[in-house]
């Protein structure tokens, strides 16, 4: 199964490009699903057909879904939410507020990720295309498997306390509802499942992130930043889609200045994102709405090519031996404009870049080693650890120490 995630600033054309990709994959005979994680849900508008929180057939070989938090709460999260709101109400919160509080941040994000997990486990699709919210929200989504542990630790802690208090007061009347077995199992399950998704998403053979830009300065700057964060989260960014490129033929009078400006931005994109594979689409004379227009966009982007092709499988994290040192290399495609700090604790390496923090679980062979230094070399930050050993092992266990999930196809 292939997972293609389109990300970028608001309005650059993510939804259109994602829909065009999905339609083309389906037309080429691949079982395809398009999943919108943007709560604004413009996918329905783009395709000019109403989608919902449940899988809906769009065309031959193509289904679509717009993840809908209300629907998810009534199905996937029912048990957990019911317990949490009872629990909060038992602590004196009024029931309406308790119900609202029981929607913890992340349920929506997690739901989207669990669809991807389900598709992979069931092997129901060849291609999953993800149409996402503007950059910041999507970074949150993609970082979620990492940050979720924090929620779960707190949740587990809370539940454990409830059980402890309940045991201590056996025989007395207690007002706090005890978690059901199903609740406890659900909670434990969440961790396991998130780990599975995380492995799926960080496997470059399976998942590719494609950046969507327009030839405009603010868009380019935001996308450069996003690219760096995506690398730090371990996602493989494999291509850049330049959308809404004004065609040269229009270069008379009015457009002359605009075209000159665009030319400048195009060459910035070229310099900044090279050697990423580039896909391009012209600015269309009309809004890209409906299937026919989307097919036109797919022609622009892919020609006769296969949109599900993997253009690069380079992981943004590598490990190798070098002259009595082990190197953990992190791809940082742009010059850092913030202070970068590194800490190690037991088997964790924490990378802090401004307010951004990412913790990487080191493989066994690299724990308890001293960091000798860290230097940039081209696009790579090489973090040097004392002593060789990491590059010798065959089979390449990945950072994080877990095996990648089995590939479905
Ligand atoms: N290449 C293009 N030419 C002309 N209009 C486009 C093009 N790509 C997208 N659009 C239009 O731009 C608007 C925003 O596109 P959309 O795909 O919704 O962006 P996003 O999902 O990034 O917010 C829509 O009206 C869409 O039809
Ligand atoms: Mg959109």
Residue 406: pLDDT band with limits 50, 70, 90: very low
Give the CA distances from residue 243 to residues 52, 125, 251, 305, 403, in Å, rounded to whole numbers and listed in that order.
Answer: 27, 27, 18, 17, 37
Atom of ligand 1 at shortest range from CA of 293: 27
Q: Is the CB of 283 under 6 A from ligand 1?
A: yes
Give the pLDDT score at 367.
Answer: 77
Q: Is residue 300 part of a domain?
A: yes
How many A from CA of 66 to the centre of ligand 2? 11
Q: Is residue 192 part of a domain?
A: yes
- Whether residue 157 sits in one domain with residue 119: yes
Task: Single out the residue of 69, 91, 97, 78 nearest to residue 158, CA to CA.
Answer: 91
> Which residues are bridge partners to 352 per DSSP?
341, 357
Instruction: Read off φ and ψ for residue 96, nearest 5 degrees.
Output: -65, -45
Q: Is the CB of 13 under 6 A from ligand 1?
A: yes
- Whether residue 287 sits in one domain with residue 142: yes
Tokens of 117: 């997990």
pTM for the complete prediction? 0.81
The CA distance from 395 to 403, in Å, is 10
Using DSSP bridges, classify how beta strands 2-7 and 127-131 pair: parallel, antiparallel or unpaired: parallel
Range of the domain at 30: 1-314
Buried b / exposed e across 353-362, counting CB within 10 Å, b at 16+? beebebebbb
Q: Is residue 249 part of a domain?
A: yes
Give the pLDDT score at 20.
Answer: 98
- Whether residue 309 sits in one domain with residue 185: yes
Average pLDDT over residues 366-386: 86
- Whether residue 249 sits in one domain with residue 169: yes
pLDDT in tens, 282-315: 998 888 999 999 999 999 999 999 999 999 998 8
Residue 281: pLDDT band with limits 50, 70, 90: very high
Q: Is residue 403 part of a domain?
A: no
Task: Single out the residue of 4, 5, 6, 2 nearest to residue 243, CA to CA.
Answer: 6
Q: How many domains does the chain have?
A: 2
Q: Is residue 401 part of a domain?
A: no
Residue whose structure tokens are 């999930």 = 405
Atom of ligand 1 at shortest range from CA of 10: 23
Residue 400: pLDDT band with limits 50, 70, 90: very low
- Whether residue 215 sits in one domain with residue 330: no
10 Å CB burial of residue 284 (0-12, 13-18, 19+) is: middle
Residue whose structure tokens are 């449940």 = 54
Give the CA distances from residue 53 to residues 115, 162, 238, in Å, rounded to whole numbers and listed in that order.
Answer: 11, 34, 29
pLDDT in tens, 142-172: 777 776 766 677 777 777 776 666 666 655 5
- Whether residue 302 sits in one domain with residue 356: no
- Whether residue 277 sits in one domain with residue 140: yes
Q: Is the CB of 10 under 6 A from ligand 1?
A: yes
Atom of ligand 1 at shortest range from CA of 16: 17
Q: Kindly report the CA angle at 5 between 396 and 235, in degrees rounded to 5?
A: 30
pLDDT over 60 at 396, yes or no: no
- Whether residue 378 sits in one domain with residue 262: no
10 Å CB burial of residue 225 (0-12, 13-18, 19+) is: middle
Domain boundary (314, 339, 371) is at: 314
Domain boundary (314, 331, 356) is at: 314
How many A from CA of 403 to the centre of ligand 2? 33
Q: Is the CB of 42 under 6 A from ligand 1?
A: yes
Give the pLDDT score at 253.
Answer: 65
Lowest model confidence (mean pLDDT) among 43-47, 76-80, 208-212 = 76-80
Lowest model confidence (mean pLDDT) among 56-70, 236-250, 358-372 = 358-372
CA 251 to chain centre: 38
- Whether residue 204 sits in one domain with residue 345: no
Task: Single out the residue of 323, 334, 344 nearest to residue 389, CA to CA.
Answer: 323
Give the pLDDT score at 165.
Answer: 65
Give the pLDDT score at 397.
Answer: 43
pLDDT over 60 at 26, yes or no: yes
- Whether residue 189 sits in one domain with residue 294: yes
Phi-psi region of 283 (alpha: psi -120 to 50; beta: other; left: phi over 0): beta
Atom of ligand 1 at shortest range from CA of 287: 27
Q: Residue 265 CB: number of other CB atoms within 10 A? A: 18
pLDDT over 70 at 388, yes or no: yes
- Whether residue 98 sits in one domain with residue 241: yes
Q: Whose CA is nearest to atom 11 of ligand 1?
A: 287
Give the pLDDT score at 409.
Answer: 41
pLDDT in tens, 316-363: 988 898 888 989 999 988 877 778 888 888 778 888 877 777 888 787
CA 342 to chain centre: 24
Q: Whose CA is nearest to atom 16 of ligand 1?
A: 13
Q: Is residue 209 part of a domain?
A: yes
pLDDT in tens, 94-136: 777 777 777 765 677 778 888 999 999 999 999 999 998 887 7
Q: Average pLDDT of the chain? A: 83
How many A from CA of 343 to the centre of ligand 1? 42
pLDDT in tens, 218-255: 999 999 988 988 888 888 999 999 999 988 776 666 67
Q: Is residue 371 part of a domain?
A: yes
Task: Single out the residue of 240, 234, 273 nearest to residue 360, CA to CA.
Answer: 234
Higher pLDDT, 164 or 369: 369
CATH number at residue 325: 2.60.40.790
How many A from CA of 203 to the centre of ligand 1? 29
* Contact indicator for 335, 122 with CB cutoff of 8 Å: no
Q: Which ligand is nearest to the CA of 297?
A: 1
Using DSSP bridges, classify how beta strands 340-345 and 325-331 pair: parallel, antiparallel or unpaired: unpaired
Domain boundary (259, 288, 314) is at: 314
**What are the residues whose beta carbon lies below 5 Å from ligand 2 (ion)?**
14-15, 42
- Whether residue 354 sits in one domain with residue 339: yes
CATH number at residue 7: 3.40.50.300
Q: Is residue 400 part of a domain?
A: no
């Amino acid at each position: 199964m292939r997972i293609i995630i389109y990300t970028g600033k608001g309005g650059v054309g993510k939804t259109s490009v994602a829909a065009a990709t999905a339609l083309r994959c389906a037309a080429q005979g691949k079982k395809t699903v398009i999943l919108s994680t943007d709560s604004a849900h413009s996918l329905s508008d783009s395709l000019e057909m109403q989608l919902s929180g449940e899988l809906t057939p769009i065309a031959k070989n193509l289904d679509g879904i717009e993840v809908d938090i209300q629907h998810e709460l009534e199905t996937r999260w029912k048990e957990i939410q019911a317990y949490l709101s009872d629990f909060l109400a038992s602590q004196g919160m009024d029931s309406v507020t308790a119900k609202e509080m029981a929607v913890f941040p992340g349920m929506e994000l997690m739901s989207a990720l669990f669809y991807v997990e389900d598709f992979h486990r069931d092997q129901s699709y060849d291609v999953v295309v993800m149409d996402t919210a503007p950059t910041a929200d999507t970074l949150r989504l993609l970082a979620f498997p990492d940050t979720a542990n924090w929620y779960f630790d707190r949740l587990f802690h809370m539940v454990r306390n409830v059980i402890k208090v309940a045991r201590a007061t056996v025989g007395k009347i207690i007002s706090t509802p005890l978690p059901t077995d199903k609740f406890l199992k659900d909670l434990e399950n969440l961790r396991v499942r998130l780990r599975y998704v995380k492995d799926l998403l960080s496997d470059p053979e399976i998942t590719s992130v494609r950046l969507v830009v327009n030839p405009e300065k603010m868009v380019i700057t935001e996308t450069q930043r996003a690219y760096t964060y995506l690398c730090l989260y371990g996602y493989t960014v494999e291509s850049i889609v330049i959308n809404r490129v004004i065609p040269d033929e229009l270069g008379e009078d009015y457009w002359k200045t605009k075209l000159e400006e665009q030319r400048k931005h195009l060459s910035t994109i070229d310099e900044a994102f090279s050697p990423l594979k580039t896909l391009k689409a012209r600015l269309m004379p009309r809004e890209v709405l409906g299937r026919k227009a989307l097919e036109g966009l797919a022609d622009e982007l892919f020609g006769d090519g296969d949109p599900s092709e993997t253009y690069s499988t380079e992981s943004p994290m590598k490990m190798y031996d070098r002259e009595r040192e082990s190197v953990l290399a992190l791809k940082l495609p742009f010059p850092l404009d913030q202070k970068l700090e590194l800490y190690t604790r037991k088997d964790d390496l924490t990378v802090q870049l401004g307010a951004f923090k990412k913790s990487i679980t080191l493989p066994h062979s690299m724990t308890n080693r001293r960091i000798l230094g860290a230097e940039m070399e081209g696009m790579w930050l090489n973090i040097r650890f004392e002593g060789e050993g990491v590059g010798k092992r065959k089979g390449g266990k990945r950072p994080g120490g877990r095996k990648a999930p089995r590939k479905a196809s």
